Copies of this chain bind each other. A is one copy, B any other.
């Protein structure tokens, strides 16, 4: 009963990553999960609900976060490296572009996606602020600086063909934070 739910959610993520949001087919999810289509509709009233629900899994997944270093610069670099890394590997790699789009269409997805992003952003803002207060970074608005840092990583991944690699992160941090 519960294990079915999880099988389905896992299958839904796979499908989302492989087929994108358009082309996300309930039928495929059911097949992937080895489950009847009706079972899906029993637990999730429609496509969107399943998608958003599946994404909640991503929230929980990275609980096993590696401990962050204390030094602010290293901390910021690690957060950005992790972000850039996650954007390049399934399932997030395939899901984020789909979410960017889906967020425009569905309030539920938008809420989820913005909250998800906010959580990531918060960690970065905190690290930047710590660095600024410690005098390690330039005197910048931590929020805007965090937007610029995260933004650069997303921008390069989503709008250009050259995503930010781990090697470029220190340089990026220096560029924005000195």
Contacts and interface: CB of A to CB of B under 8 A. Distances in A.
Interface in A82-113: 94, 97-98, 100-105, 110, 113
A110 to B, nearest CB: 8
Contacts of A141: 171, 175
Question: Size range of the interface on A?
Answer: 35 or more
A37 interface: no
Interface string A140-178: 110011011111111110111100100010011001101
A20 B173 CA distance: 35
Which secondary structure dominates where chain A touches chain B? helix
B140 A147 contact: no
A2 interface: no
A22 to B, nearest CB: 3
A158 B150 CA distance: 12
Contacts of A150: 151, 155, 159
A121 interface: yes
A22 B155 contact: no
A98 B104 contact: yes
A59 interface: no
B144 A151 contact: no
Given A140-B175, A147-B152, A148-B149, A101 B159 contact: no
B22 A105 contact: yes
A158 B147 CA distance: 12
Nearest to A95: B104
5 contacts: A101-B101, A138-B178, A144-B168, A151-B153, A154-B159
